[in-house]
């Protein structure tokens, strides 16, 4: 099988581009090698990493992990990666992002774009919303299924093996049985999106209008029963994930509800501002044309 993607990751050009991102990252790192130490001798460090990748000898350093207690309660594992780890993860991300955009139609949506899509759908009559949140999706990602999806995306066994090694670099005592993606790992958002994309595909194939922003999900329908049925489909296709029960409900679109922090449109098709003033709905655009085509 081709090593095309590992070869790209190992390219000094890609590694140097990755370094430009990593050195500006203010997240803490693990290990004795600091940015200040690495920068003056960057050519040697990049060369060592490149040769190790091409020879299949690169191994991710063990992460430094600890339990933290966020202000909202439940303890979580926070991990830090060495600068070498961050460098290679960022290089993998630079190589895989364009592939995902082509093969999966992967787009990094903003909250504004997501809510623009909701407005267009509601204005087109999809006024019943099945609103929910996926519970700790990154914590529950199954590694074996994730790696199969990654291989399906790139077809490069050495790259999949490299990502597997990255996943296993978390200390044993902090690992979640069979899976989990960890805060502090550069690849976590990309791999989580790759995993959840299977749910997106299922909803698309069943012609269920939806929007998803990370773990927050909304399915839309013209009738209340349709929104309930769509949520049932989500529950059946969750890849061993779970929905947050108290965040799951069917409602008629209204300004009193929010999605990703933005007010939803009133279901009469008119927009209401924070001052209570109304304005005409935005014209139906790209998203509705896609629905009509489906």
This prediction has a pTM of 0.81
Q: What is the pLDDT of residue 179?
A: 77
Please tell me the predicted confidence (pLDDT) of residue 270: 46
In this prediction, residue 178 carries a pLDDT of 64
| DSSP helix/strand/coil, 110 | coil
User: Each residue of 240-275: b (16+ CB within 10 Å) or e?
Assistant: ebebeeeeeebbebbbebebbebbbbbbeeebbeee
Pick the CATH number of 111-138+190-293 from 3.90.920.10, 3.40.50.2300, 3.30.1490.20, 3.30.70.270: 3.30.70.270
Which segments of the chain belong to CATH 3.30.70.270?
111-138+190-293
CB 186 within 8 A of CB 93: yes
* CA–CA dist 45, 283 (Å, integer): 53
pLDDT at 106: 60
Would you state the structure tokens that stand for residue 240, as one six-digit string?
């061993």
| Mean pLDDT per 10-residue section of the chain, whose length is 294 residues | 82 96 83 88 94 95 81 70 94 94 71 88 94 86 92 94 93 76 87 91 93 93 96 88 91 93 78 41 39 41
Residue 239 is predicted with a pLDDT of 78
Mention every residue, 6+ apart, whose C-beta is less than 8 A from residue 125. Answer: 222
**SS3 of residue 7 by DSSP:** helix
Whether 101 and 107 have beta carbons less than 8 Å apart is answered as yes
């Amino acid at each position: 099988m081709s090593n095309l993607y590992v070869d790209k990751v190992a390219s000094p050009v890609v590694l140097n581009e990755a370094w430009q991102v990593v050195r500006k990252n203010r997240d803490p790192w693990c290990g004795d090698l600091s940015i200040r130490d690495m920068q003056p001798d960057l050519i040697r460090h990049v060369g060592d990493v490149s040769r190790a990748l091409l020879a299949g000898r690169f191994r991710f350093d063990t992460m430094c992990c600890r339990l933290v207690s966020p202000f909202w309660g439940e303890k979580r594992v926070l991990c830090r990666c060495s600068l070498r780890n961050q460098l290679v993860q960022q290089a993998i991300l630079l190589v895989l992002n364009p592939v995902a955009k082509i093969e999966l139609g992967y787009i990094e949506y903003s909250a504004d774009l997501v809510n623009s899509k909701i407005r267009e759908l509601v204005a087109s009559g999809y006024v019943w919303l099945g609103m929910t949140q996926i519970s700790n999706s990154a914590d529950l990602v199954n590694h074996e299924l994730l790696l199969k999806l990654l291989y399906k995306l790139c077809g490069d066994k050495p790259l999949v093996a490299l990502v597997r090694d990255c996943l296993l670099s978390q200390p044993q005592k902090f690992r979640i049985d069979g899976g989990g993606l960890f805060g502090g790992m550069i690849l976590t958002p990309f791999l989580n999106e790759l995993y959840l994309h299977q749910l997106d595909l299922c909803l698309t194939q069943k012609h269920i209008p939806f929007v998803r922003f990370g773990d927050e999900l909304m399915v839309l329908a013209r009738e209340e029963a349709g929104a309930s049925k769509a949520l049932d489909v989500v529950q059946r296709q969750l890849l061993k994930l779970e929905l947050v029960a108290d965040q799951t409900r069917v409602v008629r679109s209204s300004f009193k509800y929010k999605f990703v922090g933005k007010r939803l449109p009133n279901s009469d098709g008119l927009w209401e501002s924070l001052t209570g003033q109304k304005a005409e709905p935005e014209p139906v655009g790209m998203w509705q044309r896609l629905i009509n085509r489906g």
